[in-house]
Structure 1
Amino acid sequence: MSRFSFNQITAKLWDLPDLVAGCVEAGVGQVALWREPVTEYGLERSAALVRDAGLSVTTLCRSGFFQAPDWFDDNRRAIDEAAALDTKVLVLVSGGLPAGSKDLAGARQHVADAIAELVPHAAAAGVTLAIEPLHPMYAADRCVISTWDQAMAIAEQHPVGQVGVTVDTYHLWWDDTVLDRIARAGERIAIYQLADWVTPLPQGVLTGRGLPGDGCIDMAAFHAAVEKAGYTGPIEVEVMNAELWERPGREILDATLTSYRKVV
């Protein structure tokens, strides 16, 4: 349980002070935070709240979205926010195609170029940029980086510790080559996240993930691959589920802990 981290989005409607209090009460020592609720509560207040409770922040989610006109300034702010929260990992979701564009290859090259522009600022702040490949169904509007290999090709252009890759079971489970690739990734794994793929798919696929063990993903195989790579860092449970969000925050945390214990 020392590696467990509760990702804030799993209890989206739980406000930050109650989430922090609930984690302390449950003996959870690590949380992953999201930019929007942190901004709403206040960056300095959020950092103080978590620090005073004795919690560590495993990641800040999320930045990227490089198709946006203000991508450079927004990502630099995100790096500074991560540093203020004393987390070493900023998760990057690359964003989709620019409006009206069909140039997928060009969009992917832009992501690589944009990350290269951000690396000096991130390195100076002591923050690792963690590229997250998303399931191909999100390529058009949310993330043109769809595979582990695409993410690694960008990360490997930079020193280890400056750019890494996010292992998210929900987004990678479909790829029959990914477990071998992960097992050989070594220090390129920046963070490891768990969520399950449940069927039938809900209308809102983005908010239809399952708790680990509730779907069809072979979590044991993923865990073995990550362990073989030598990753010993935090394991976040990051579940976006509209039905789960309707439950009280502490009940969600307890259900998350139960599911984590079953699969890790």
Structure 2
Amino acid sequence: MKSFSLNQATTKRWPLDELVAGCVAAGVEAVGLWREEVTDYGTEKAASLVRDSGLTVSSLCRGGFFHDAGWYDENRRAIEQAHDLGTDTLVLVSGGLPDGSRDIDGARRHVGEAIGALVPDAQAAGVRLAIEPLHPMFASDRCVVSTLDQALQLASPYPADAVGVVIDTYHLWWDDTVWDGIALAGQENRIAAFQLADWITPLPSGVLLGRGLPGTGAIDMRRFAQAVRETGYDGYVEVEVFHEDVWSRPGPAVLAEAIAGYEAAVA
């Protein structure tokens, strides 16, 4: 695997220009970016900042949310933004159930159809669509794709260089079938991104913000890293954490701890 990448979500309140400078100073090679922050900063300005620093954009998050009425145009804009930033990976969070619906099977079918509709645009832009399964507790409102197997099934009709999957430890650690899924994803060349975040206990009241830095929770990070490494995956390893306590700390301190957690898991 290439090396560590700092996902922007981990240091959410660190301004982008300071984040980039901090990564360069720490010898970090790559950053994962988020559309909201990039848009606020200015996509062209952000692209120039990262490019001039010598950093690689390992991924852009997020596209998807296919239950929204304007999903097609919004995802085309996301693909264009990924291209402008120079990344070949757009992370997709599928979205939950449409308002008033209980048809989760139908929602997943729609996700597959929506991805298929976007494949030509993604291929033309040189951007790979990366389906991220989220923990089942998010199925109703954020992501009806809950397992790696489901993500692989949705990706399977499309070329591997156009549609891949995301391996995120926080979302997949509970699933005893994930190891076979990782091996299959590797065989099919579907692993588009690998992300580290720990599961802390007890979860805070806002479960979306319940991730810990690698090594602070219950997940066997080394087992995941080894399983992904054995597939031949040679991409970046992003640390992506959502937690108010992490966000409240100085960016350089969080970056140092994230690197240490990555090294303990991957080295």
TM bin, normalised by shorter chain, reads over 0.9
Determine helix, strand or coil for the equivalent of 2:91. strand
| Structure-2 residue corresponding to 1:158 | 158
Gaps of 5+ in 2: none
Determine helix, strand or coil for the equivalent of 2:159. coil
Moved over 2 A (4+): none
Letter in 2 for 1:89: T
Question: Aligned partners of 1:24 and 1:234: how far apart in 2?
Answer: 16
Give 1:184 shift: 2.5
Give 1:2 shift: 4.9
Question: Aligned partners of 1:111 and 1:103: how far apart in 2?
Answer: 13
- Deviation sequence 1:39-85 (CA, Å, 0-9, x none): 00000000000000010000001110000010000000000000000
On the 8 A contact 2:197/2:240 being kept in 1, the answer is: yes
Question: Aligned partners of 1:2 and 1:112: how far apart in 2?
Answer: 30
On the 8 A contact 2:2/2:237 being kept in 1, the answer is: no
- Deviation sequence 1:121-169 (CA, Å, 0-9, x none): 0001000000000000000000000011110001111011100000000
On the 8 A contact 2:179/2:227 being kept in 1, the answer is: yes
Aligned positions of 1:240-255 closer than 5 A: 240-255=242-257
Question: Aligned partners of 1:27 and 1:149: how far apart in 2?
Answer: 36
Gaps of 5+ in 1: none
The reply on whether 1:57 has 2:57 as its aligned counterpart is yes
| Structure-1 residue corresponding to 2:177 | 177
Determine helix, strand or coil for the equivalent of 2:199. coil
Give 1:191 shift: 0.4
Question: Aligned partners of 1:149 and 1:244: how far apart in 2?
Answer: 31
Question: Aligned partners of 1:209 and 1:193: how far apart in 2?
Answer: 12
| Structure-2 residue corresponding to 1:225 | 227
| Structure-2 residue corresponding to 1:208 | 210
On the 8 A contact 2:2/2:234 being kept in 1, the answer is: no
On the 8 A contact 1:57/1:87 being kept in 2, the answer is: yes
Candidates 256, 259, 262, aligned match of 1:260 = 262
Determine helix, strand or coil for the equivalent of 2:46. helix
Aligned positions of 1:5-20 closer than 5 A: 5-20=5-20
Question: Aligned partners of 2:222 and 2:243: how far apart in 1?
Answer: 22
The TM-score with structure 2 as length reference comes to: 0.97
Question: Aligned partners of 2:2 and 2:119: how far apart in 1?
Answer: 30
The TM-score with structure 1 as length reference comes to: 0.98
Deviates more, 1:221-230 or 1:86-95: 221-230
Letter in 2 for 1:193: Q
- Deviation sequence 1:25-46 (CA, Å, 0-9, x none): 1111100000000000000000
Question: Aligned partners of 2:46 and 2:141: how far apart in 1?
Answer: 30
| Structure-2 residue corresponding to 1:126 | 126
Determine helix, strand or coil for the equivalent of 1:130. strand
| Structure-2 residue corresponding to 1:196 | 198
Determine helix, strand or coil for the equivalent of 1:184. helix
| Structure-2 residue corresponding to 1:69 | 69
Aligned-pair identity (%): 61
The reply on whether 1:105 has 2:99 as its aligned counterpart is no
Letter in 1 for 2:60: L
Question: Aligned partners of 1:219 and 1:164: how far apart in 2?
Answer: 21
Letter in 2 for 1:262: A
Deviates more, 1:125-134 or 1:181-190: 181-190
